[in-house]
Structure 1
Amino acid sequence: MSIKLVAIDIDDTLLNSDHAITDKTVSTIKRAIQQGTHIVLCTGRPLAGVAEYLKQLEIDGDNQYVITYNGALSQSVDGKILKSHILNLDDFKRIKNFCDRNNVQFNVLDDQSNIYTTNHSINRFTVVQAYENFAGIQQIESIAELASDFVMTKAVLVGEIDQINLVENQFKIDFANQYYQIRSTPNFFEILNKNANKGNALQDLRRYLHLDLSEVMSIGDERNDLTMFENSGTSVAMGNSSDFIKKHTDLVTTDNDHDGVAEAIEKFVLNH
């Protein structure tokens, strides 16, 4: 079967080292869209944080899709939520208590790209996170300020690498398999609903579109892409991926500074 959906990670996959999409990758993706292929950006970012890339790639309309918050939401690019795996206020309280005990800063995101934190001194990594994702930061004194039906897509523990190393290990001890946990960057440890990951979200979308597994290809570079690889008929690691990631994919393309995404699409989508 031909590939009808390509799931693409953003950071260090779609984007090069200058945090830009190369001209060749843009033109190749547009050609794939013109022949009817769904190009689905799969990211830890909220929808607001991918809007500029969707616009650049001309991915629009209610029949084009994106996977956001590391798989907490599958949605159309115009914002309609198809499937969600979210957290609630009880989770917020549990995670906040853990962070207070371990003296680590954190924030949570709702399903509208807003960031909330109870930290009085906002961590610089949270500021960068908000800037990159075009998100506002709402500082609250207590959880009591939030509505009883408040939902969040994920919590993010932020800090220096050594600190996050320690709290990541402790969180896994304290909560085991209660949540899906991913070290998305050296300074970010993310906590999601136990059913929220890129792979489950991709499976949700594939079923929604009535596609066979063999009609799905995924391209990524990090550990949070592993579940996406597992739910694809063809999995492709970027050349800049670690050896560990490369061992878990069917193929390896060139790196993100040498049009790796374009090369994979040309080979497996446009030439078939």
Structure 2
Amino acid sequence: MIKLIAIDLDGTLLTDDKQISARNIETLQQAKAQGVKVVLCTGRPLNSVVGHLETLGLTEPGDYAVTFNGGLVQKNDTGEILSKDIMSFEDVATIFDLTQELSLPLDVVSNETVYRIQPQPAAYPSLYNQLNSILRFEDRTLAELPQDRDFNKMVCAIEGDYLEQQLPKIPASFHERYNIVRSGERLFEFLNKHVTKANGLVKLGQILGIDQSEMMALGDEENDLSMIDYAGLGVAMANASAEIKEMAQYITDSNEEDGVAKAVEKFVLNETP
């Protein structure tokens, strides 16, 4: 029996215009009413998804989220951090040097603040503020960056064609040291090596006493791959990457066609005890 539904946002729960459909809202509220934990698993910080949590009715005691691609596990009502995996200033400096060599812009996310590290490549400025306008952005040089902050992840946000061109140039040593994942058409991220959405679900499952066999995960992009593989039931969206579809046990309809609701109706609401 499914006791926890882990859901990615962009390309999964959200439509292309970043809304949650009425059918998805109603279905997930029904699942919660049946005692199922509905958990948003996102690369974003908690404060940037509060509106979606409120829409779904997931801001009460006992509601949780996996944020920063698994870097944090948090209580939705208070923001209390139950599990944390972060990066150091030394990591920021190392990755900034790499991005300068590859002519990539770098944004460093620290809780609710995004530091746009200067200088940025003149020909390839960051698009991250366009993709996450709700966050607070500050321009800083590396020397101006506060070293006592928690650094959750580092982001390169550029046009997809250029991203495709530059990604293969990242040395293998960086892949060995960090978890480097693509989280959107114009976005890839550097994370603590231990940070994955699956690891976030492992920790939340330990807190709640829910086994991986009792979890259902839905996603569409590379950063969802770990939780699709980990959960007892991995569900790919029709618009998901080929790799996600190959890993999943079930393929639902697209994010534009209430794919989340249809999968939850099939495997949770219509499930007989």
Fold in common (TM above 0.5): yes
For residue 99 of structure 2, what is the aligned residue in structure 1? 99
AA aligned to 1:203 is V
Kindly provide the CA deviation profile for residues 21-58 of structure 1, in whole angstroms up to 9, marking residues without a partner as x.
Answer: 11111011111111111100011111122111101001
TM-score by length of 1: 0.92
Aligned length in residues:
267
User: Aligned runs of 1:1-272 on 2, under 5 Å?
Assistant: 2-77=1-76, 78-111=78-111, 113-120=112-119, 123-131=125-133, 134-143=134-143, 145-272=144-271
| Structure 1: stretches of 5+ with no match in the other structure | none
1:116 alignment partner, SS class: strand
Distance 1:162 1:16 in 2: 23
Using the TM superposition, name which of 225-234 and 155-164 deviates more.
Answer: 155-164
Distance in 1 between the 2:175 and 2:185 partners? Answer: 21
Give the stretch that moved more between structures: 118-127 or 9-18: 118-127
State whether residues 130 and 136 of structure 1, in contact with CA within 8 Å, keep that contact through their aligned partners in structure 2: no
Q: Which moved more, 1:183-192 or 1:193-202?
A: 183-192
Partner letter of residue 127 of structure 1? N
Deviation at 1:116, TM superposition (A): 0.5
Alignment partners' CA distance in 2, 1:257 and 1:166: 29
Partners in 1 of 2:2 and 2:180 — Cα distance? 30
How many Å apart are 1:128 and its aligned residue?
A: 0.8
Following the alignment from structure 1 to structure 2, what is the Cα–Cα distance between the partners of residues 173 and 231? Answer: 25
Q: Secondary structure at the match of 2:248?
A: coil
Query: Percent identity, aligned pairs only?
Result: 35
SS of the aligned residue for 1:264 comes to helix
Per-residue CA deviations over 1:197-256 (Å, capped at 9, x if unaligned) read 111111111111111222111111112111001221111111222333212111111111
Contact persistence 2:113–2:138 (CA under 8 A): yes
Separation of aligned partners in 2, 1:185 and 1:204:
25
**Unaligned ranges ≥5, structure 2:** none
Secondary structure of the 1:177 match is: helix
Moved more, 97-106 or 168-177: 168-177
Q: CA RMSD in A?
A: 1.7
CA contact (8 A) 2:108 2:117 kept: no
Q: Secondary structure at the match of 2:127?
A: helix
Cα distance, 1:158 vs structure 2? 2.4
| CA deviation map 1:49-107 (0-9, x unaligned) | 21111010010123111111111111111311111111011101111111222222111
2:13 and 2:262 mapped to 1: Cα distance? Answer: 12
Kindly provide the amino acid, as one letter, of the partner of residue 218 in structure 2.
I
